[in-house]
Every structure is written in structure tokens, then in C-alpha cells.
């Protein structure tokens, strides 16, 4: 049985041209150590924190591919999930394939064009550490097609959806496993007072109450403040002990600040890019409230 329930974010990796530079950057930023793993599909790098899996670094097979963080959602059966993706109006980019004994992986895009991964656990079940400084905390899709995208994720993963405060910072740094109960997946997209979809919606797994405490991800509307050339995308958050110190470290390591630090009810967060251009966010959840 998979360690993560259906639809819960269970892994993240970054696609890089220079893995050595990536190891130096993230090793100093988050305190990660690294281990090289050879598979039939090539070599990837495990990122470890305190000896526990927290992320992966993957070499680009083609220099034209984007430098980007990817998030993976748990699937009990990746092939069945791929069928639901197609039926719900998404696109399967790479079909499910076994990566040695580690997992079955696939990549897909939602109707708005945001790319994500599917992960059916084998010997590698995903994150062994999350929700603490230096590890994964949250993910959200940024899209210009909220109605179609909300319907898609309800159909594929059965998410319940509830409005959030108008901020893209994570409401919960560590997802909880779903419990049994009535599904909230059939609830419609929450409207704003004007009848349009709200700017930020939280996702909860099937059977969980649709509230911030049980949220495992979310959807953010890309408004006029986003550059027109910026495509729909997932943004992955990592928890840090001090947001402002992290920004200074990123600058020193050759990265960039894409969105300056901001206080939210969920913690102080910022959006950054590493020294090769991969965007990610950090959040200090100790400042929440």
C-alpha cells in the first residue's frame, strides 16, 4: 500500500542542466546531502536531510527542456489515473512507466497547461520528511482557467475545494492522511460574491473536511499582475526556519528573488529562483497566525 493517499503530493524533483551546481546551491541553502542512484533510465540524485529523502535532482536529457521544479501526486494505479486525466480534459505527456523497482512515474498537463507528475509507489514511497525546515511544505497550481482546472482536479483526484484567504502562501506545511467519511469532491467550485471563481482555492483529499487544516494543495488564479508570457505552472514550497535569512543566502549563492518576503496568516513566504533559473517558494511556518 502506498505511503500517501490518492492525490496527495508525495515527491518533488528539479530538472537541471548542471547537477553539480544544483548540489552546491541546495546543499548550502537547505542543508541537503546527496546520493547518486543509477536506474535503467539514467542517473538521478537523491536529496537527503538527516538521512531522509526530501527531493530529487534530475539531469536534463535535452537542453531545450525547462529548468523547473516538478511535483508528483500519489496514485494507487498510475495507468488508471492516466485514463482519468484524459477523460477529464488533460493531456498525458509521458505515459506511466516503471523506474526499476522504485515507482511508476508519468507526467501530465491539466486543461490550463500546468504540468505535474503521477507517482505510484514501489520501493520508493516518496517524501520521508516534510513540513520541517529544509523539506517540502506545499504546492499550488497557478492558472488562467480556474473553472476548467477546478473541474479537472475534482474529476482526477476527487479533491474537495474551499476558498482561502487572498494569499498564495501555504495554509498547512504538512499534509495529513485522509480519513474515512463522506466525499466532498462533488462540491462545486466556490464562487466569489460576483459569481466568478475565487482567487485562491484549497484542495483537500477525498473524504476529508474541506478546510485549511486538511488542505494538501491549492489553485491560484493568474491575474493581471502575472506577465502575459508566464505559462500556467505549479509552485513548490519548502519550509525554512527564517524566510529573510533564506533570501540573503539565495542572493549570495547566485539565485534571484522573484517575489519579496510577505507575511500571511500561514507564515512569511517568498518566491525565488535558484542559480540555474528553477523557481520555487519558501515559507517560515513558525510566523503563522
pLDDT digits (tens, 9 = 90+) for 273-284: 999 999 999 999
| Closest alpha carbon to 285 in 248, 220, 240 | 240
* pLDDT for 177: 31
d(CA 91, CA 98): 19
Residue 166: what pLDDT? 52
Q: What is the pLDDT of residue 164?
A: 81
Q: Which three cell numbers stand for residue 162?
A: 474551499
CA–CA separation, 260 and 246 (whole Å): 11
174 pLDDT band (50/70/90 cuts)?
Answer: very low
Among 62-76, 166-180, 188-202, 213-227, where is mean pLDDT lowest? 166-180
Q: What pLDDT score does 64 carry?
A: 86
What was the pLDDT predicted at 165?
A: 59
Distance between CA atoms of residues 178 and 90, nearest Å: 25
The segment with the largest mean pLDDT, out of 175-179, 185-189, 193-197, is 193-197
Strand partners for 220: 142, 200
- pLDDT at residue 175, rounded to an integer: 37
pLDDT tens by residue, 87-110: 999 999 999 999 888 889 999 999
CB-based burial label for 234 (10 Å; 0-12, 13-18, 19+): buried
Q: What are phi and psi of 8, to 5 degrees?
A: -85, 135
Q: Which domains does the chain have, with CATH numbers?
A: 9-287 (3.10.180.10)
* pLDDT of amino acid 37: 85
Q: What is the percent of the chain with per-residue pLDDT over 70, rounded to a whole number?
A: 88
Q: What is the mean pLDDT of residues 104-128?
A: 95
pLDDT tens digits, one per residue of 223-235: 999 999 999 999 9
Per-residue confidence (pLDDT) for residue 27, from 0 to 100: 98
pLDDT (tens digit per residue) in 19-52: 999 999 999 999 999 999 877 767 789 999 999 9
Span 67-73, mean pLDDT?
97
Amino acid at each position: 500500500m502506498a505511503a500517501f493517499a490518492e492525490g496527495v503530493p508525495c515527491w518533488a524533483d528539479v530538472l537541471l542542466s548542471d547537477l553539480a551546481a544544483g548540489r552546491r546551491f541546495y546543499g548550502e541553502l537547505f542543508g541537503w546531502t546527496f546520493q547518486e542512484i543509477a536506474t535503467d533510465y539514467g542517473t538521478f540524485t537523491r536529496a537527503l536531510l538527516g538521512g531522509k529523502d526530501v527531493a530529487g535532482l534530475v539531469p536534463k536529457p535535452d537542453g531545450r527542456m525547462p529548468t523547473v521544479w516538478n511535483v508528483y501526486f500519489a496514485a494507487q494505479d498510475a495507468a488508471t489515473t492516466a485514463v482519468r486525466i484524459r477523460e477529464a480534459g488533460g493531456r498525458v505527456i509521458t505515459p506511466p512507466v516503471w523506474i526499476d523497482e522504485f515507482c511508476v512515474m508519468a507526467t501530465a498537463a491539466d486543461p490550463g497547461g500546468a504540468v505535474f507528475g503521477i507517482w505510484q509507489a514501489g520501493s520508493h514511497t516518496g517524501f520521508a520528511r516534510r513540513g520541517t525546515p529544509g523539506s517540502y511544505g506545499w504546492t499550488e497550481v497557478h492558472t488562467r482557467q480556474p473553472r476548467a482546472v477546478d473541474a479537472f482536479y475534482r474529476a482526477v483526484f476527487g479533491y474537495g475545494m474551499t476558498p482561502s484567504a487572498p494569499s498564495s502562501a501555504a495554509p498547512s506545511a504538512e499534509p495529513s492522511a485522509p480519513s474515512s467519511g463522506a466525499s466532498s469532491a462533488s462540491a462545486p467550485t466556490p464562487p466569489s460574491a460576483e459569481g466568478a471563481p475565487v482567487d485562491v482555492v484549497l484542495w483537500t483529499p477525498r473524504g476529508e473536511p474541506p478546510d485549511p487544516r486538511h488542505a494538501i494543495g491549492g489553485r491560484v488564479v493568474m491575474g493581471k499582475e502575472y506577465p502575459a508570457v508566464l505559462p500556467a505552472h505549479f509552485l513548490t514550497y519548502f519550509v525554512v526556519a527564517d524566510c529573510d535569512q533564506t533570501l540573503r543566502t539565495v542572493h549570495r549563492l547566485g539565485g534571484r528573488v522573484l517575489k519579496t518576503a510577505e507575511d500571511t496568516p500561514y507564515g512569511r513566504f517568498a518566491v525565488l529562483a535558484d542559480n540555474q533559473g528553477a523557481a520555487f517558494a519558501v515559507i517560515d511556518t513558525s510566523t503563522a497566525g
